[in-house]
Amino acid sequence: MRLFIAINLPDEWKEVLAQPKESIAWLGKGVRWVEPDGMHLTLKFLGDVDRGLIDSITTSLRTITSSINSFHIRIAGTGVFPSPRRPRVFWAGVSAPDELTILQQGIENAMGALGFQQDEQPFKPHLTVARIKEPIGKKRITDAFLRFRIRSDLFQVSRISLVRSHLKSDGARYEELQAFPLTSIVNTDHQNL
């Protein structure tokens, strides 16, 4: 089973994340826009997982989430990986308190203890909006995307999900296998988000 751990997004965010495609897609070809219904904030990609590991994964996630308070996040800004000169991914940034980094690092460490490869790059919370091959009008569409103002209302993260990815010829379909609630104390210190 192809699995990952993520935060599922509210419908209002999906509408916000669809705006760049609706506004600037005509500026360049060769850009594959991600459908908003398929967007999520990935905390850890596990890849192909043996069914025998599912119980260990869920036990670890239950332990981690029981010690993390609920918190707020919001969409803020745009960017590209790896650079504006060589764009491969357009992304929307996620502004979040320290709880998100603590949560992701706990997941990273726990999955590493179960034998999953650790990510070498530091965690940068983002939502993939589009993937770029070699588009016509690359500079023009990249410049427009980087100027695009994407901002959302606050969203309270109260759970994370273990998600199965079903790869199909027309794209991936996602199935939530299990949800793991965070503790119910809400972080009210979100003025800087």
When divided into structural domains, the chain yields a total of: 1
Domain CATH code at residue 104: 3.90.1140.10
Buried b or exposed e, range 62-98, using 16+ CB within 10 angstroms: eebbeebbbbbbbbeebbbbeeeeebeebbbbbbbbe
Query: Residue 186: its pLDDT value, please?
Result: 56
**Residue 148 domain boundaries:** 2-186
Residue 190 known to be catalytic: no
Residue 193 counted as domain residue = no
User: pLDDT per residue over 9-20, tens digit each?
Assistant: 999 998 899 999
Distance CA 110, CA 113 (A): 5
Residue 7 counted as domain residue = yes
pTM reported for the whole predicted model? 0.88
Residue 191 counted as domain residue = no
Which is the catalytic residue, given 40, 72, 166, 190?
A: 40
User: pLDDT per residue over 118-177, tens digit each?
Assistant: 988 889 999 999 988 876 678 888 999 999 988 899 999 999 999 999 887 666 788 999
How far is residue 189 from each of residues 96, 97, 98, 144, 150, measured CA to CA in Å? 10, 8, 11, 33, 22
